[in-house]
Amino acid sequence: MISDLPLRKIIHVDMDAFYASVEQLDNPELRGKPIAVGGSSQRGVVAAASYEARKFGVRSAMSSVLAKRNCPELIFVKARFDRYKEISQKIRAVFYEYTELVEPLSLDEAYLDVTINKKGNPSATLIAKEIRSKIYDTTGLNASAGISINKFIAKVASDINKPNGQKTVNPEEVIQFLEELEIRKFYGVGKVTAEKMYKLGIFTGADLKSKPLDFLKQHFGKSGSYYYNVVRGVHESEVKPHRIPKSVGAERTFNENLSSEIFMLERLEHISNELDRRLKKSDIAGKTITLKIKYSDFTLNTRSKTLPYFISDKALILETAKELLYQEELQNSVRLLGISLANLNTDKKEKTKPETDTIQVQLKFDF
């Protein structure tokens, strides 16, 4: 089963180990060596790892201590986000040579809708190859790509032939591709969800497809419908050139764990200042304030309050965050605090945005 909606030609471009590759590009002495972008301190976290480091099990979001334990020869490099943004802009400029329908997900990846493109090229596969080649010529960096009929399959496909490769899943290949796919490779299925699926006898797309919708909703809530549809090749989300944020937040990880709420109140004030700056920059207000607390044992706790009106006032956000802090007793000492604002006034803008013109495409068309 594939959606009756018109098929599109979607490319997902993902830079290979982007931050680490930039550091190796700028510093030839680091090439071919295991490096991690991030802090090397006891509380440091790996932001990105080179492929040489990944062979030792070093991954992003891993603690620097564990990363060093896995790879004693690991070289830590301080992140340079200004440099990454500079190169990211060059990469996006390449995307816009082919289409205006570009949806950036981060500095190093994006979706492109090339169903109708500026080059008049009917083959999304050839366009992806051109884009990857042009990115290399422009920046000296390698990119991988996935090409298919929707964003979900393109995203999954971009991981298949990494690094420096691409994978096309043609319309007639979609169902078989999804049925044979390991469940842990489905985009949106994390480690915890994968373990839960294993216990339910779900190891591949075919296993997932065999489960009724009611069964999936019972075990996975709202996500059940998502899993039911994507394994059948149905994912209706369009490439959105201007992604409207669902929330705006700021957070801080502390050099030393905090056990006193008095010290936390001081930190919350600094965090609210940063959040206030971001809200003013984007001219955004919201109704739901969420306090994020990460404890020293890495357990995460969130507490939220929704107001009947939109706010962006720093003082009111801070007072609400304080109220949430005192809402219940702390379970442990705290290593991170964050404040975010959701239920934004941008949600209304998105709902009232005019529909884009439908592109009529036949089932059989060149990829």
Active-site residue numbers?
109
Residue 186, classed as helix, strand or coil, is coil
Which neighbouring-strand residues pair with 11? 112, 147
| Upstream peptide bond of 241 is cis (omega within 30 degrees of 0) | no
**Could you give the CA distance from residue 352 to residue 362 in angstroms, rounded to a whole number?**
29
Nearest to 291 by CA among 245, 341, 358: 341
**DSSP secondary structure letters along 297-344:** T--EEEEEEEEEEEE--HHHHHHHHHHHHTTS--SS-EEEEEEEEEEE
Q: State the SS3 of 5-71.
A: CCCCCEEEEEECCHHHHHHHHHCHHHCCCCEEEECCCCCCEEEEECHHHHCCCCCCCCEHHHHHHHC
Residues 335, 43 contacting (CB under 8 angstroms):
yes
| Cα atoms found within 13 Å of the Cα of residue 358, Cβ hemisphere only | 8
Angle subtended at Cα 352 by Cα 350 and Cα 355, rounded to the nearest 5 degrees = 90
What is the amino acid identity at position 302? T
**Could you give the CA distance from residue 282 to residue 344 in angstroms, rounded to a whole number?**
11
What values do phi and psi take at 138, rounded to 5?
-80, -40
**Could you give the CA distance from residue 72 to residue 56 in angstroms, rounded to a whole number?**
10
| Euclidean distance between the first and the last CA atom of the chain, given in angstroms as a whole number | 19
Q: Which two tokens stand for residue 153?
A: 């399959």
Q: Which two tokens stand for residue 177?
A: 């591709």
